[in-house]
Structure 1
Amino acid sequence: MTDVAKPAMREPSEKEIRLVIGASSAGTVFEWYDFFIYGTLAYILKDAFYDVDNDTLGLLLVWSTFAVGFAFRPIGAILFGFLGDKLGRKYTFLVTVTLMGIATAGVGFIPTVDSIGIAAPIIVILLRVIQGLALGGEYGGAAIYVAEHAPPEKRGFYTSFIQASVAGGFVLSIAVVLACRWLIPADDFADWGWRVPFLLSIILLVISLWMRLMLSESPVFQAMKEEGEISGNPFIESFTYPGNKKRIFVALFGVTGILTTIWYTAFFSGMSFLRGPMHVDDLTVEIILFVSGLIAMSFYLIIGKWSDRVGRKKPIMIGAVLTLFLLFPAFWGLGSLANPGLADAAEVTPVRIEGPQCTTDPFAELFDREQTQCGKVLEVLTASGVSYDVADGDELRVTVGSEEIGLEPAWFEDGAARREGLRAALSEYGFDFSKQQPGMASLLGIVGILLGLGMLSALTYGSVAALLSEMFPPKIRYSSMSIPYHIGAGYLGGFLPLIAGVIVASTGNIYSGLWYTWIVVAFGIIVAWWGLPDGPPRDFSDDAG
């Protein structure tokens, strides 16, 4: 085996490594908090920044703007990956955390759509672009920085703190929302209090900068700089270095595609599912996600440490294969525990829709297209979590069990009247659309399922920072690692809430969006089995790639 020549490196002290892990992880928590707080408050932002009558469309527009940030992550990965390989790891992610903090705080200052009209969502989109660019440089910088300080035999464990910090950002976003809810009355929180979590980013930015300014440059980068081994053009070399095209392909589909779709399904799809079609009380959902996410953070550390012993491939393959078998049953279980009345009523008195042009167009209002009467009914049923069957017919009819319910003409002129009228009619047959407060046994079951999903995420994510650092040569590591990671996380994962939402809105099946995750993971398993190295972890070498 011919290893890539390595310049002599200074060995970091234990105290320095603890500072590196602490400062890098804290900064990563804060930066992902900035990114996730938008998704955590999606149900409020749809009313603050989008003037639409359709609840489903409003949420899809929020998820579209959420996805914009992810769409620009690959560009940020290219830009900051280039800077990280040319100028150094430390100063590059100082820039990224500054951009993220400023952009997040900016959302808290934007007037609502009622005040400035279409300018409100446009400004939000621009700030999400900045966030996406910043995050494209953050993860790679923090992960590589820790990996290049860690001894090889502990690299998986040390870098797993960065992986846990991503979940930590999500947990922190929920914790801040819970604190704001406790301190601010509900009406005030919906009116102006939702801005507070965004403005808090100013304080988090100051803390992040203070902690990271205490750090020194990565010993690997320092040694390369002293030896004149800095890449001339990291972006070009990422695609011309021998064997790197295969490694980038494997990192994109066999690593990132798996981990990112499982992660967003576990956390964001779980949150949207409980809060939306299952009608669980908002505060209850936030507490459930906070408890589940806080406990699940430890799973990433366990898996990262385990991977130092068994290798990086085994945990990823185990988690991905288990996901194929457990994904749908997990969400079926969430549905039956969160709102058993919906599932029971649908089984006892199934809903059937007959009529002409019985398809729904979730973007009809946005593009000024006329939604059919049947489509309007289907949209309400889908948003309400009601399963149904559709059949062609000459006249629009809605039957529940064996009985037909009357459709009022006024329902087709006003979205709120249609929603309230249909729900009131279905409530007569046992469908429960009230805010749900599951009992303690059900709550424990929901938390247990979410922890199971969290473990699947940890298996496929806990060792990834170490794996990606080991896959690529040091002089182009920042770029080579960041590009596939942020393309995968940006498009395959970041668009998941939007894609899954469109699938659900188009099919009327509240579980159908899970097929997107299932297909991406299934393809990723094939790529990972083919392309990831077996056996114990090892540093990059040309003949290992």
Structure 2
Amino acid sequence: MSKQHTQGRVAFATVVGTSIEWYDYFLYAAASGLIFNQLFFGPLGSTLSTMVAFATVGISFLFRPLGAFLAGHYGDKLGRRVVLIITLIAMGAATALIGFLPTYESIGIAAPLLLILLRIIQGISAGGEWGGAVLLAVEHAEVKHRGLRGSFPQIGVSIGLILSSGVLALMTAIAPGDAFLEWGWRVPFFLSILLVAVGYWIRRGVEESPVFHEIAERKEQVANPLGKLFKSHWLLVILASLVFVGNNAAGYMTTGGYIQNYATDPAGPIGLERGPVLWAVSASAVSWLIFTIVAGAVSDKIGRKNTYLLGWMLLLIGIFSLFPLVNTGSIWMLFLGLVILTVGLGFTYGQQPSMYAELFPSSVRFSGVSVSYAIGSILGGAFAPTIAKALVSATGTTTSVAIYLALVTLVSLAATLALRDRSGIPLGPAHEEEQSVIPIIGVRS
């Protein structure tokens, strides 16, 4: 099989696999503010039930590091592919079981507790999925196309958002009104069974990363990769995590379900219909997909760091444009606000896999990228919808949310400035010494 054909198969497999994983993950997030707040947390009252439902979205993030630790440990010892298959199955099983859950009205407090348990399983799976997918893509890629190839699993996020929002919107049309709350919401969760079967079949045929093959042939697997990572690269893990927080916090305005809830809340200032808002979110995810790929390709030309610096400026523009447009009450202005936001989201996301892979040495790379991503997601998006809901309740204005997102983005900008650009550095174990030089400005190894 030619190298180009192998890279094509890897790209396809990582896109399909991550799309399915994020479909499952975002489906819960979208349902939290539209469905779970009523059916599982309803007795808490309108505002508190929504805040608690959003908090369950965030709880899963607290378990992402556990998934990252497990996946990183075994991914650096046993390979990238086996971890990806396990995380796909775990995520799909949890999602399908959510579709079968009785509501609070049927079994009382056991209903939200079981819901939270399944969300925790989703969090563990998501923590292990990302590192394996992006390393397969980046480590298979040619150096000159590393940024572009690395962006492919990233578009799984936008495709997952398109699918989850689109299927929910379709079900609001098929099962309108009370029927949606009675049974219609369950269908998208059942659909996960079919999607996971397809993803499993595709991932089984993917070849292991050539970098890991070389590590195994040299018998250079580290016995305790996590221990080595935190002993030698703890500061790098912190900075890499902070690079991600701005994108993740802003992105979870939609992927975390906040905009969907804010725009459709009958007691809120907007009061739009659920279906059109879900379709607008799905359509804006197409823009996110496009700019994610563009950012990956651009980073191959101007470097990862320069692409990030451009991206943070674009994201700040998107953040301060979003709520003024949403607050017009027009579905078209809401869509425009989301599209402007996705330009910055794409330009701070497409280059992330290649940048992360280039930061860490091959022996602890899976652990490094997975743990950094997991910690960044906790600090960034984990409770962003809950914080946004609380800020609006306390201040009465969405300006407070924009300021919060802008401050988090500035943290990521500062972390980006603290790192050296290592675009194109060799990724194989033969260059471990070069890779181990700490890429932090002002810090010597």
* Same fold by TM-score greater than 0.5: yes
1:230-245 pair list within 5 angstroms: 230-241=221-232, 244-245=233-234
Are 2:114 and 1:126 aligned?
A: no
Equivalent-residue separation in structure 2 for 1:245 and 1:67 (angstroms): 24
CA shift digits 1:336-355 (9 cap, x unpaired): 2x2xxxxxxxxxxxxxxxxx
CA contact (8 A) 1:40 1:174 kept: yes
1:338-377 pair list within 5 angstroms: 338=329
Q: Which of these two proteins has the greater Rg computed from alpha carbons?
A: 1
Q: 2:431 — aligned with what?
A: none
Are 2:165 and 1:187 aligned?
A: no
1:80-479 pair list within 5 angstroms: 80-241=71-232, 244-253=233-242, 255-265=243-253, 267=255, 268-276=257-265, 277=268, 278-336=270-328, 338=329, 438=330, 443=332, 445-479=333-367
Q: 2:26 — aligned with what?
A: 36
Are 2:41 and 1:19 aligned?
A: no
Are 2:49 and 1:67 aligned?
A: no
Identical residues among aligned pairs (%): 33
Equivalent-residue separation in structure 1 for 2:310 and 2:258 (angstroms): 22
Equivalent-residue separation in structure 1 for 2:79 and 2:69 (angstroms): 14
Cα distance 1:544–1:239, how it changes in 2: closer, same or farther (>3 A)?
Answer: closer
| Deviation (angstroms), 1:273 | 3.1
CA contact (8 A) 1:159 1:465 kept: yes
CA contact (8 A) 1:266 1:454 kept: no
Q: 2:437 — aligned with what?
A: 543
Equivalent-residue separation in structure 1 for 2:39 and 2:9 (angstroms): 40
After TM superposition, the score normalised by the length of structure 2 is 0.92
Q: Secondary structure at the match of 2:237?
A: helix
Equivalent-residue separation in structure 2 for 1:281 and 1:511 (angstroms): 23
Q: 1:483 — aligned with what?
A: 371
Q: 1:500 — aligned with what?
A: 388
| Deviation (angstroms), 1:178 | 2.2
| Deviation (angstroms), 1:296 | 2.5
CA shift digits 1:152-209 (9 cap, x unpaired): 1101101111111111111110121122233334321221111111111111111111
Q: Which runs of 5+ in 1 are unaligned?
A: 1-10, 339-437
CA contact (8 A) 1:469 1:477 kept: yes
Give the letter aligned to residue 308 of structure 2: I
| Deviation (angstroms), 1:53 | 5.3
Equivalent-residue separation in structure 2 for 1:462 and 1:144 (angstroms): 14
Equivalent-residue separation in structure 2 for 1:332 and 1:252 (angstroms): 30
CA shift digits 1:112-144 (9 cap, x unpaired): 100000000000011011110011000011001
Give the letter aligned to residue 300 of structure 1: T
Give the letter aligned to residue 191 of structure 2: L
Equivalent-residue separation in structure 1 for 2:264 and 2:350 (angstroms): 28
Say what the alpha-carbon RMSD is for the aligned residues. 1.8
After TM superposition, the score normalised by the length of structure 1 is 0.75
CA contact (8 A) 2:323 2:398 kept: no
Equivalent-residue separation in structure 1 for 2:279 and 2:317 (angstroms): 28
Give the letter aligned to residue 461 of structure 1: Y
Give the letter aligned to residue 251 of structure 1: A
Give the letter aligned to residue 513 of structure 1: V
Q: Which runs of 5+ in 2 are unaligned?
A: 428-434, 440-445
Q: How many residues are paired up?
A: 427
CA contact (8 A) 1:97 1:134 kept: yes
If each structure's helix is expressed as a fraction of its own residues, which one has the higher value?
A: 2
Equivalent-residue separation in structure 2 for 1:51 and 1:449 (angstroms): 31
CA contact (8 A) 1:72 1:490 kept: no
| Deviation (angstroms), 1:272 | 3.2
Equivalent-residue separation in structure 1 for 2:437 and 2:274 (angstroms): 53
CA shift digits 1:229-281 (9 cap, x unpaired): 1111011011123xx2232122011x211221122235544333322332111
